[in-house]
Structure 1
Amino acid sequence: MKYVKRTMCIRTQMASGTDSLSDPAVLANQRVGNSIFTVGYYVTGGSFGSLYIGTNTETGEKVAIKVERADIDKPQLPLEYGFYKTLGNYMIFIPKIHYFGPCKNYSALVMDLLGPSLLKMNQICGGHFGLVTTTKLMIQILNIFEYVHSQGIIYRDVKPDNFLFGQPNTPKWATVHMIDLGFCKRYINEDNRHISYVEGKGVTGTARYISVNNHVGRELSRRDDLEAILYMIIFLHKGQLPWQGLNVADLRERTKQIGIIKMTTSSKELCSNMPIEYENFLELVKKIRFNERPPYRQMMNQFRYVLFRMGITADDNYYDWDQSHQPRHENKRL
């Protein structure tokens, strides 16, 4: 397969100025949302904004506050807020948005404070999820993407950092939530038609998880989100993907080499020592046409059957990190 020449997709850089989001104290104690929310301590930041922990002064509850300079050339936070509005606050796997608006010289997005990410929980479990946990997560995430895609949106940023559990000791603890919608794109145009197939596009997302179509510069659609999900799930289960650890310093060359390894690694090899449904899933996704709706329910039912063969149901809340429920099901014949 021939590689197309392209420009890498790079997140918008923060504008320079006297106020810098690299200084954690810039927004400390600022009030936002009609003074209902107070900005607290700085958590992390980068080219796509910065994250603070804040407080709802009326309820005392902690919230997450994402901020971005208001004067940058291509602001991303208003776009992200628009996607959150489209997906709606009533879906339990989309964090609730409490406020979007100004905060000094910044735009601020106030949302529910969630719990640890899939990556964090994977690290707690020694870098490997058992098949029970892996399969439950696959079902949850496919359910999320069925809904997101039904709203005319593709995600384009699948990675374990972007999926968070609810706060511990709450009813949402075992629920996976999708965050960081900055790379989302509408695949349905204003005239209610699917976007056109295009080649020569740039790479979007994290190279480790993106689809082969993404690597070779093809316009992305629903199928590419699903392919990326499988790569992420295999990483969480096995702790390693065949294209990790390349000794290539140049980002573009490393991304190209990752793509080549993905193309030359068979589904059987990639999904070795996993139930056949994982291999079948990847083979099915690769056959989905650009504008075709994936068979989400069929896919989820196949993974429910994996759990059925292990003697459990998909809706219990036990995972590898729950000490009262060791993954004894792993020994059952798959």
Structure 2
Amino acid sequence: MLTEGQGVPAVHYFSEANASIPKYHTMVMELLGPNLEDVLQACGGSFTLKTVCMVAVQLLDRIEFIHSKGLLYRDIKSENFLLGRYKEPNHQVLHIVDFGLSKEYINPTTRQHVAFSVKKGSVGTPRYMSIPALQHHEQGRRDDLEALSYLFLYLYCGRLPWQGLPGSTFAEKCKRILEKKLKLTVDEVCADAPPEFGKFMKYARNLEFEAKPDYEFCRGLFKAMMTANGLESDDVYDWTGQIPEFWKTKRVKTRKPKGKTRSRKRKGHKK
């Protein structure tokens, strides 16, 4: 479904594993570079306005493409966006990975949007999850955009107001973060960033559940911010020209399992 999209890793091979262990599958994917969180920390924990704006345009492109295929991403976070390999033609392209939480929002048979509902649990990464997602609401395209608004602010400021809140469980963490997001206004959350960050966040929060986002308007906010600040979209990022160790391909060391694990059944596993 996503094969022709820019910034979507190529899948070279996919198959069920040996018949003796049918619950496992094999996937061979394109080898990529570091994720956005690694690059962020290597650049001092925050990006310049120019880099954030160019990153925002790229990620809005990725999410628009995924939405155009009838899918929601539902797991926005800095670790899920990877650069290409160093010195490869796509080394400045941000790739979106890990579709484990993705879900169709358009019924492939009826072509109808999924109905709004309140579910039992939340799906996503609490730091970036939208307010409706934290309230256990069925997610729509608006929730991916709201999550992006928090990610962009994090990349620029280096921190979000609800980071570090205590919570021993996923549910407790979601509860604490939801309380904080409801307590703070958008202007308070975006106080240390240019006004366009707040405009994008307000736009995402105010979208109706089934509404199709105006992606061009969203990209335009960040493009206009660059123009207003005399910045040029030239693909020169904060990390451009650097050759950090993490960008080089690393050989992964595998550990041999202790004892015989081949026939072990995982508790609660569903076929």
Give TM class, smaller chain. Answer: 0.7 to 0.9
| 1:302 Cα deviation after fit | 1.6
Q: State, as a whole percentage, how many aligned pairs show the same letter.
A: 36
> How much has 1:267 moved relative to structure 2?
1.0
> Does 2:207 match 1:288?
yes
Structure 1 residue 323: Cα displacement? 5.4
Equivalent of 2:186 in 267, 279, 302: 267
Q: Separation in 2 of the partners of 1:248 and 1:219?
A: 23
Distance 1:269 1:179 in 2: 31
SS of 1:101 mapped into structure 2:
strand
Which of the residues 237, 240, 245 maps onto 2:159?
Answer: 240
TM-score of the pair, normalised by structure 1: 0.69
User: Which residue is equivalent to 2:90?
Assistant: 172
SS in structure 1 at match of 2:126: coil
Aligned partner letter, 2:69: Q
Q: Which digits, 9 at most, give the CA deviation of each residue in 1:28-75, with x for residues without a partner?
A: xxxxxxxxxxxxxxxxxxxxxxxxxxxxxxxxxxxxxxxxxxxxxxxx
Return the TM-score normalized by structure 2.
Answer: 0.84
Rounded Cα–Cα distance in structure 2 between residues aligned with 1:309 and 1:323: 26
Asked if 1 retains the 8 angstrom alpha-carbon contact of 2:6 and 2:62, the reply is no
Contact 1:201 1:219 in 2 (8 A): no
Cα deviation 1:233-267 (Å, max 9, x = unaligned): 21122121111112332432221011110111111
Matches of 2:16 and 2:169, distance apart in 1: 38
Mapping of residues 9-158 of structure 1, within 5 Å: 86-88=1-3, 90-104=4-18, 105=21, 106-158=24-76
Look up the equivalent residue of 1:135 and give its one-letter code.
C
Amino acid at match of 2:220: N
Q: 1:148-193 CA deviation, whole Å, 9 max, x = no partner?
A: 1011000001111110011111110111110001111000012000
- The reply on whether 1:181 has 2:96 as its aligned counterpart is no
Q: Which residue identity lines up with residue 92 of structure 1 in the other structure?
A: Q
Matched with 2:80 is 162
Contact 2:5/2:65 (8 A) holds in 1: no
Structure richer in strand, relative to its length: 1
Structure-1 separation of matches of 2:241 and 2:67? 35
Contact 1:129 1:236 in 2 (8 A): yes
The whole-number CA distance in structure 2 between the counterparts of 1:274 and 1:239 is 11
Runs of 4+ in 1 over 4 A off after TM superposition: none
**Structure 1 residue 319 corresponds to structure 2 residue 237:** yes
Deviations 1:79-138 (A, max 9, x none): xxxxxxx112x2221011111003443311111111110001001011111111111111
Any unmatched runs of 5+ in structure 2?
A: 243-271
Q: Secondary structure at the match of 2:29?
A: strand
Report the AA paired with residue 109 of structure 1. M
Aligned partner of 2:137 among 213, 218, 243 = 218
Local SS of the residue matching 1:87:
coil
SS of the equivalent of 1:109 reads strand
| 8 Å contact from structure 1 (residues 200, 218) kept in 2 | yes
Q: Which has the higher contact order (CA 8 A, sep 6+)?
A: 2
Cα separation, 1, equivalents of 2:77 and 2:193? 20
Is the Cα contact below 8 Å between 2:37 and 2:78 reproduced in 1?
yes
Task: Tell me, in whole angstroms, the C-alpha distance in 2 between the residues paired with 1:231 and 1:120.
Answer: 18
How many residue pairs were aligned?
237
Q: Distance in 1 between matches of 2:178 and 2:58?
A: 27
Structure 1 stretch 216-225 or stretch 230-239: which is displaced more? Answer: 230-239
SS at match of 2:221: helix
Distance (whole Å) between structure 2 residues aligned to residue 156 and residue 193 of structure 1:
19
The answer to whether 1:254 aligns with 2:191 is no
Deviations 1:298-333 (A, max 9, x none): 11112111111222333x121112359xxxxxxxxx
Could you tell me whether the CA contact under 8 Å between 1:165 and 1:175 is conserved in 2? yes
Determine the structure 2 residue equivalent to 1:80: none
RMSD of aligned alpha carbons:
1.4
